[in-house]
Amino acid sequence: MGKNRLKQPKHKKLLHLFILLISLIAISIVINLSLSKKASTAISGPQMDAVYKEVVVSTLSFGDASAQFPSFGIKEVDTYIEAYIHSRLTSLHSSGEKKAITYDILHYSQQTLSVAFTESGEAAEIMTFDLKKGAILAFEDLILQDQVSDCLELLAEIASAELKENNHSSLSAKDISKMTAPKAENYSQFIIYNQAIVFNLTLNDKNETYQLAISKQLLDDWLIDDYRPGEHHDDLSGNYEPANIITDRPTKESRLPMDEKVVALTFDDGPKAGITDVILDALEKYNAKATFFVLGSRCTANEDLLKRMAEEGHEIGNHTWDHPKMTSESSSAIVEQIDRTNAIIGQITGTAPIIFRPPYGLYDERVSSFVGKEHLILWDVDTLDWKLRDADLVVPSVLSAVKEGNIILMHDIYPSSAEAAVEIIHELSLQGYKFVTVSDLLEIKKQRLEESNA
Ligand code: ZN
């Protein structure tokens, strides 16, 4: 080797040096590029947080995006927060947003710690950690197993009633039912106080939030022991305790339009794409609720329509699996027609129907005793839309026939029916009618009767 090198001519040595030099320059360019791509990361600190004394505050920046965040000396908690900050900074940096992430400690007690992160003043995320377990808490961690969906149902009921009453952001009914729907993700940001849990609801994409303070008494059947009232949840940060704590379920009266002129629109034999959606759009526009008596056999192909009905607060009723004359069916076939339809609707929407309408209005003792007399629903106004197939004929006859408290029968499988429904909803709204679901109509009638007897 040494011999060979000695033998190399001088210009070849120079060439090698030159190649080496070029390579070094290239490598340093690559390193620089990748650095500027990954952004400069600078960590400064530690400083101590003013509220929670044992916190070490660090700052980190990726290009124009920067963050100030706490470490608590609890490995799992710190790792979680660091990962969150890294992921947000990466995302802000790659989309070129010049945002500054800051944090606030909202509450801490012996048991839990809640930290809110904001991005240039906009609410981003509230995290609650269990300090004893060293873990972030999800909604499901607070609630006994198998009770999560019951608890979510109650929260949805309360949240929806509250938002309708305090609708400062003029949210649409659709937005409210979407944001308060009984899903864990809607209730995943919370703060645990001694006597209450405050849920931070995200109102829309504009980062508006609503604080829903629920008394722990209301959640008594479901809370895991660690999160029940007790000194270990007393606030140590000196921050406020929640105000306006909700201690009662919303009453039915507060939700139902008891003193209004009410009517129930019902649509049978669907859902059908291109028809049902048109009706749903009109209902949404007039903040009207309706009832859809669907066929089980049509549900799987129209899952999205079924989910939309449920999400937008309409009632879904059972209209059998495939529309037989129930009076001609065997007893076991009757049961199967109803059960199979309830099961598929329950599977898709999370809630099985309570009410049933027999095809052609035909039923006998076997049918009515199986579904329960009070759940068997017929109609007051037959629009004959299935026969006339002409909105110009259907609309006037409905408008002349309809009275307060009526149930109106239509079919969401014909384009002419959708057209008629849109006009009927518009006209009856002008006349001051409120459209309610069949179950709400029955409840309103029942309460009015109780009142008049009292
Ligand atoms: Zn039918």
Mean pLDDT score of the chain, rounded to an integer?
A: 87
Q: What is the pLDDT of residues 84-112, one digit of tens each?
A: 999 999 999 999 889 999 999 889 899 99
Q: What is the pLDDT of residues 292-330, one digit of tens each?
A: 999 999 999 999 999 999 988 899 999 999 999 999 999
Least confident of 171-185, 344-358, 397-411: 171-185
pLDDT at 83: 96
Instruction: Calculate what percentage of the chain has a pLDDT beyond 90.
Output: 64
Instruction: Calculate what percentage of the chain has a pLDDT beyond 70.
Output: 85
Predicted confidence band of residue 259 (pLDDT cuts 50, 70, 90): confident
Q: How far apart, in Å, are the Cα atoms of 197 and each of 112, 137, 187?
A: 12, 13, 11
- The DSSP 8-state label assigned to residue 325 in this structure reads -
Residue linked to tokens 């001051």: 432
CB 307 within 8 A of CB 261: no
Q: What is the pLDDT of residues 404-434, one digit of tens each?
A: 999 999 999 999 999 999 999 999 999 999 9
Per residue in 400-426, is it b (16+ CB within 10 Å) or e — as a string? eebeeebbbbbbbbbebbbbbbbbbbe
The helix or strand, by DSSP H or E, that contains position 103, with its residue range, turns out to be strand 100-108
Predicted confidence band of residue 178 (pLDDT cuts 50, 70, 90): confident
Q: How far is the CA of 130 from the centre of ligand 1 (A)?
A: 54
Six-digit token pair at 239? 């921050």
- Given a cut of 60, whether residue 344 has pLDDT beyond it is yes
CA angle 140, 141, 146 (to 5 degrees): 50
Cα–Cα distance measured from residue 129 to residue 433, given in angstroms and rounded to the nearest whole number: 49
Q: Single out the catalytic residue among 269, 319, 411, 440.
A: 411
Q: How far is the CA of 269 from the centre of ligand 1 (A)?
A: 5
Six-digit token pair at 432? 């001051």
Q: How far is the CA of 364 from the centre of ligand 1 (A)?
A: 16
Q: How far is the CA of 323 from the centre of ligand 1 (A)?
A: 6
Picking from 61, 60, 79, the residue whose alpha carbon sits closest to that of residue 71 is 79
Q: How far is the CA of 257 from the centre of ligand 1 (A)?
A: 29
Per residue in 314-334, is it b (16+ CB within 10 Å) or e — as a string? bbbbbbbbebbebeebeeeeb
pLDDT at 243: 81
Q: How far is the CA of 265 from the centre of ligand 1 (A)?
A: 14
Q: How far is the CA of 340 from the centre of ligand 1 (A)?
A: 17
Q: Single out the catalytic residue among 268, 269, 385, 440.
A: 268
pTM, two decimal places: 0.55
pLDDT at 31: 45
Look up 205 and say whether it is catalytic. Answer: no
Look up 268 and say whether it is catalytic. Answer: yes
Q: How far is the CA of 141 from the centre of ligand 1 (A)?
A: 45
Six-digit token pair at 171? 């949210």
Cα–Cα distance measured from residue 241 to residue 3, given in angstroms and rounded to the nearest whole number: 85
Predicted confidence band of residue 41 (pLDDT cuts 50, 70, 90): low
Picking from 139, 131, 430, 90, the residue whose alpha carbon sits closest to that of residue 288 is 430
Six-digit token pair at 395? 């609309």
Q: How far is the CA of 334 from the centre of ligand 1 (A)?
A: 15
